[in-house]
Structure 1
Amino acid sequence: MTRSSNLAGNIKNPVLYANRKKDIMTQNYTIKQFPTVTITGYAAQLPLPTMANIQEVSTLKSHHFMTLAQSGQFGELMSASRDKIGYALSGVTDEQLEYFAGANTTVTPTAAETRTVPAGDYVVLTGQGGPSRQLFDQLIGQFFSKILPENPQLYKEDSFVIEALLNGNPADAVVELRIPVSK
């Protein structure tokens, strides 16, 4: 049975910040508008990340993806992907981090679940040229330690984060980190 969930709750579309860029050290971010997308995949419940356990949480995220890849579950989703992007959604649920890995796909395996990502404006950071997990961790660190403190209006507390693997190659990745803009 497939379970549906809207990760953003009652977030309405924020005001459009068309193609605005801001330099923060060497990292740029843009604000882009994305349509609603339904992701089919598999969830893992992880500890909430803290400064003390951030490496452990990163390792658990990698393990979740590797398990799905090795079992063929992720390959099945990607074989029927509408956009050929691998997604991971992170959001707080019941005092844990729900890490949901999946694809925008036309297949719905029996054990899979779905999550709906709302249309709207997203802060987008990009990275390329290394392992996807390392790139995502760097972008997450950049956003939460550098960009957000200087721009607290950008992110609503306890919202969600999207990791998008754009080129299908986790060893030499092209990635986007997408964070919904606060209203």
Structure 2
Amino acid sequence: MPKRGYHHGNLRQALVDASLTLIETKGPTGFTLSEAAKQAGVTPAAVYRHFEGREELIAEAALQGYGIYADLMEHAYASGQPSALAAFEATGRAYLAFARRFPGHYVAMFESGISIQRTPDLHAAATRAMDVLEKAAVALSEHIPPEKRPPPQMVSAHIWALSHGVVELFARGSPGTKSPFPPEDLLETGIGVYLRGLGLVDPDN
């Protein structure tokens, strides 16, 4: 009986999907191309018709992940309009939601060691995603007096770091880390503390 992979409708995507499953269970360096091939139901040799190696396969998973992430961030930003504050807070929540819903993509993007400079397409996808958060920061920063206004890139970097920390420590089940508070609450209150420090949220709220 011939290998079913030779009759696969979309072998390239099947291999990406297989890698995402393996990334979730074993991490980005915990599986081989042979395992990805087996997961997809094809011979190991078939993998090399589409990918030169495991890094290229993971890079494709990251590329697709950035596309999904950018779509979610843009939707979150639009849902908070016309309030700059609501739009900004929504982008932070979208980061957490993405990490929970697409853990394989998240790891491929942020924990695999794959550089966003690897290909022009990957760089463009990552830039599109990050531009949403920076756009939200620009709109929000307009409410801060110029002499007290930090660069929007710094504001977006702070919120990204806060969101990433909550995801890594409390939203993805890292061993030995447990919080008495839901990750959503940690992120929302953390953003609130940060924005109060910038004078963008009433201290009594």
TM-score range (shorter-chain normalised) is under 0.3
More strand by share: 1
Instruction: Give the alignment's TM-score, normalised by structure 1.
Output: 0.25
- The structure whose Rg is larger is 2
Q: Relative CO higher for 1 or 2, CA cutoff 8 Å, sep ≥ 6? A: 1
More helix by share: 2
